[in-house]
A = this chain, B = another copy of it.
Amino acid sequence: MVLQGSHCLGGGLEGGKGEPFTAFDPISGQALPPTYHDADAGQVDRAGELAAAAAAAFAATAPSQRAALLRIIAEGLEALGDELNRRITQETALPAARATAERGRTMLQLRQFADLIEDGSWVDARIDRGDPQRTPLPRPDLRRMLVPLGPVAVFGASNFPLAYSVAGGDTASALAAGCPVVVKAHPAHPGTSELVGRVVATAVQRLGLPAGTFAMLHGRGNAVGERLVAHPGIAAVGFTGSHNGGRALFDLAARRPSPIPVFAEMGSTNPVLVLPRALAARAASIAAKVAESSLLAAGQFCTSPGLLLCIDGPGADLLRQELAARLTAACAAPTVHGSIRAGFERALAEVATLPVTAASAAAGTSTAATAVCPTLLQTAARSLLLHPRLRTEIYGPAVMLVVCRDAAELLQVASVLPGNLTATVHGDGDDFVLHPAVLDALRRCCGRLIANGVPTGVEVTPAMVHGGPYPASTDARFSAVGTTSIQRWARPACWQDWPAELLPVELRDDNPRRLRRLVDGRPE
């Protein structure tokens, strides 16, 4: 497929009408052809209008048809072959093995949602049978299920060029739910986005779905995304990225004449707590695991461990030494984009004005234009308690170590942590039962609580929770990963005394799709 600098709009391909930009090779810093152009205001509005016009027809498609769409997209990703991996590697400097693995995950997600909607029980159908004899008034027949919210604006993520971008988890779950999707492609990987966007657009066309079912727009700055979120045709927003970006979209959506829900997953520090017996028994191996997890993809994971907590005691020095050795011995590594390096360095400069010691790998171990140096930071618990900046995310390969004086100080620290995607606890023997208050504080600040593991590695399964209290996400009531993430794009609707033959098939008495339903509050 020859890259043309295309947007996907109205069922066809077209160039952008705004300012030009290109991708950059993060290693060489060289521009990568072709030239892309931002969508202009008219193109954004057209995408919103077409999506709104397609919403009713797409919502009315059979689940089997949407499942076919998702599976054809998965096949299309596979058919892109090495071309896709090469472009991902060029645009993001992520290793080829990662590109392959991420494609596998993206295809898995698409197929999981296909299976989910073919099974159909996710619509949470409930029937309360009527009673014409009830006094003083008859009891009506009520039937309720989840229905699609309407067009979803999806923002591609820089750090997941496939799995959280054009045909990633947000798009797959929104299409599965029956919502048209307008993707704002991430400007760090427009070529990858074009390849994938054309696969999705072709699949939509092949199935004869409405032209507004899918669109993809490029835009280097904020204007395209902002206009899209403000468009009256858009009904919900999915975003994975920085706190500043997610919060700006959330604020914009909340200020609309008709506000819409925004699910922004904005990362976190992902605290890792080492309890005393584990610290004494295996400080070096825990440090090695945390270092390895924090260095993955140059720290460009929302779940990268950025805060390591323990109580002073046997093993604390070893933990620090081993962590320092691992991090400072690691090579500086390229990030996806120069703006990520700039953000990382700005964050380090911010914490350097506070009582923090820092040690990093010798600069210059990578010649990449976007390279960042893995860094160990250390601060005292009282400083972390005093300075909120020390408990917020530094996106990139940095770990902040905090050795607390005693269990009471550790509890103080755990109690002030902001919302996180994950929290991890290392413990041996009676470690867990001896620290219930700290564990409870950690549990309350996060979406996923992990024992004796690392936070990176997010399984795509029904029980996964990838979200958490603000600022990890803008709505802790939902997950961005796993099959429950479809719930972000649906709302309940209820039919009262509706003619039986006109009810959605999911709510008919004979339950032809054999869904798990509640009838009069009990499983059928």
Contact = CB atoms under 8 A, between A and B. Distances in A.
Nearest to A144: B463
A451 interface: yes
Interface string A493-512: 11111110010000000000
Interface string A239-272: 0000000000011001100111100000000000
B447 A493 contact: yes
A107 to B, nearest CB: 17
Q: How many subunits of this chain does the assembly comprise?
A: 2
A451 to B, nearest CB: 5
Nearest to A471: B258
A521 B460 CA distance: 12
A218 interface: no
A447 B495 CA distance: 9
Contact of A459 (B139, B440, B476, B488): B139
A444 B496 contact: no
A488 B496 CA distance: 23
Interface residues of A, number: 74
Contacts of A155: none
Which residue, of A449, A474, A490, has the highest number of chain B Cβ atoms within 10 A?
A449
Contacts of A498: 449-451
Interface in A445-488: 446-453, 457, 459, 461-465, 467, 469-471, 474-479, 483-484, 487-488
Contacts of A439: 502
B149 A259 contact: no
A477 B492 CA distance: 6
A513 interface: no
A254 B479 CA distance: 20
A453 B496 contact: yes
Given A251-B254, A254-B250, A258-B471, A449 B495 contact: yes
A433 interface: yes
Contacts of A479: 492
B521 A461 contact: yes
B452 A493 contact: no
A484 B124 CA distance: 11
A143 interface: yes
A502 B433 contact: yes
Contacts of A128: 459, 461-464
A140 B461 CA distance: 11
Given A140-B453, A447-B493, A492-B479, A463 B126 contact: yes
Given A144-B465, A448-B493, A465-B492, 11 more contacts: A127-B463, A128-B461, A140-B450, A142-B461, A143-B463, A144-B463, A149-B477, A251-B254, A448-B494, A452-B497, A461-B521
* 3 nearest CB pairs, A to B: A254-B254, A465-B494, A144-B463
Interface of A: 55-56, 60, 126-128, 137, 139-140, 142-144, 149, 250-251, 254-255, 258-261, 418-419, 432-433, 439-440, 443-444, 446-453, 457, 459, 461-465, 467, 469-471, 474-479, 483-484, 487-488, 490-499, 502, 516, 518, 520-521, 523
